[in-house]
Amino acid sequence: MGRLFGTDGVRGLANAELTAELAMQLAGAAAAVLAAGADGRRPVAVVGRDPRASGEMLEAAVTAGLAAAGVDVLSVGVLPTPAVAYLTGQYSADLGVMISASHNPMPDNGIKIFAAGGHKLEDAVEDRIEAVLRGDEKPARPTGAGIGRVGTASDAADRYLAHLASTLHNPLAGLTVVVDCAHGAASNVAPAAYAAAGATVVAINAEPDGLNINDDCGSTHLESLQKAVLENNADLGLAHDGDADRCLAVDAGGSVVDGDAIMAVLALSMRDSGELHANTLVTTVMSNLGLHLAMRDAGIDVLTVGVGDRYVLEGLRGGGFSLGGEQSGHIVLPSHGTTGDGVLTGLRLMERMAATGTTLAELASVMQSLPQVLVNVPVSDKTAVASDPAVADAVAAVERELGDTGRVLLRPSGTEQLVRVMVEAADDTRARALAERLADIVAAV
């Protein structure tokens, strides 16, 4: 079989690709690798999920797999992914498991696994888990009193909310926020966190029924949030995805404030408060050139990494940096969490508004996004494109043409035979023309 783990856990169509049998076996294999250092004590796993219907089935399977491996299971119920990561450390667990497909449609689901402390797994650890799953190792099966027990953490949500509250220095009184919960894992905790911090909260898409998660709502569908912000005369809107590790925003006028703009606001805030370690922001190659220009003007360095939150995390850890993220709104503040936390991002964004008495539109105006055109080009061999001389010459020619007023990026898809051609330029017409020129050359390879 091919590699099971993707860029963010194991994901697929629930009960077809991601079956209960696979979930149980994966949980057992993860226990064999991550709970091996329990040193005679009973190992513990924290298990949470988002509200999609298949999560009930998969949670039961994961729980069975862990208990069969001799691991005590602490169920925290429906909570965001960053809450499960945080609680894995809070409960001194050996591992954590989050059952969620994040922003994917309802029929999909996924399994994200955290090591002790709530940290995402390194590639080598994932490889070891897959080796156990293939049968390369045969872990012992306990019997009798050695079988794991299953319990519920009744204080899980309260612990997470207390943690979020502890990250703020200024109250949010006077701000009205509309929060789009995507009928997902944030439906209870996000409105509660924002209200506890002092904001007036209007919650929308906060009635999950197991089937409506991410359905024309949340961070991938901002139209209903934009409408609600205007109707409620709110100061801003915040949109989360199904497992609330992302946050995008809408200003009082209904304009979208994406992850790049949010990072710009937070970077300046953290620079002013002395929290921005080494005066550096970590972001991916897909972030808009406008972010780089804004940070240059502010005297802030930018470390650019590959696409995916795992690479952002590696960049943050490697330099001991304190802020990183992606244009999608997946933003990491390592001082307060081991993974992206959409609710925390929303709190910190509103705190900057409250502390400065400035509108979100004004704060976000520090960054001017350049038009960005992305063309997906089907190819027969995506690996051949990178070494093709005609493609290299064409890219170099476009880069010379743009100078420092634009940017070119060619990136092979991680899952399909596609090459993504991205061009940024001062105006959309030019960006589109250059992107299509490059796309034609890539397609001919």
* Residues 270, 194 share a domain: yes
Task: Give binding residues as ranges.
Answer: 102, 241, 243, 245
Last residue of a domain, one of 125, 153, 181: 153
* Residues 313, 245 share a domain: yes
Task: Give binding residues for Mg(2+) as ranges.
Answer: 102, 241, 243, 245
What CATH number does the domain containing 225 carry? Answer: 3.40.120.10
* Residues 70, 28 share a domain: yes
* Residues 250, 117 share a domain: no
Instruction: Exactly one of 54, 100, 102, 269 is catalytic; name it.
Output: 102
pLDDT per position as a tens digit, 148-176: 999 999 999 999 999 999 999 999 999 99
Provide the number of structural domains found in the chain. 3
Structure tokens at 310: 């795992």
Which pLDDT tens digits describe the chain residue by residue (445 residues)? Answer: 568 898 789 999 999 999 999 999 999 999 999 998 767 789 999 999 999 999 999 999 999 999 999 999 999 999 999 999 999 999 999 999 999 999 999 999 999 999 999 999 999 999 999 999 998 778 888 999 999 999 999 999 999 999 999 999 999 999 999 999 999 999 999 999 999 999 999 999 999 999 999 999 999 999 999 999 999 999 999 999 999 999 999 999 999 999 999 999 999 999 999 999 999 999 998 899 999 999 999 999 999 998 888 899 999 999 999 999 999 999 999 999 999 999 999 999 999 999 999 999 999 999 999 998 999 999 888 888 888 899 999 999 999 999 888 999 998 876 678 899 999 998 999 999 999 999 999 998 8
Burial 41-75 (b: 16+ CB within 10 A, else e): eebbbbbbbbbbebbebbbebbbbbbbbbbbbbbb
* Residues 214, 243 share a domain: yes
Residue 102 annotated in active site = yes
* Residues 208, 306 share a domain: yes
Structure tokens at 430: 């030019």
- Residue 58: give the domain boundaries: 10-153
Query: Residue 421 pairs with which residues in a beta bridge?
Result: 375, 410
What CATH number does the domain containing 405 carry? Answer: 3.30.310.50
pLDDT per position as a tens digit, 80-92: 999 999 999 999 9
Q: Which region, left, alpha or beta, applies to residue 43 given φ > 0 means left and ψ of -120 to 50 means alpha?
A: beta
* Residues 89, 40 share a domain: yes
Query: 161 lies in a domain?
Result: no
* Residues 393, 253 share a domain: no
Report CA dihedral (137, 58, 122, 333) to the nearest 10 degrees. Answer: -160
Query: 275 lies in a domain?
Result: yes
Record the pTM.
0.92
* Residues 238, 266 share a domain: yes
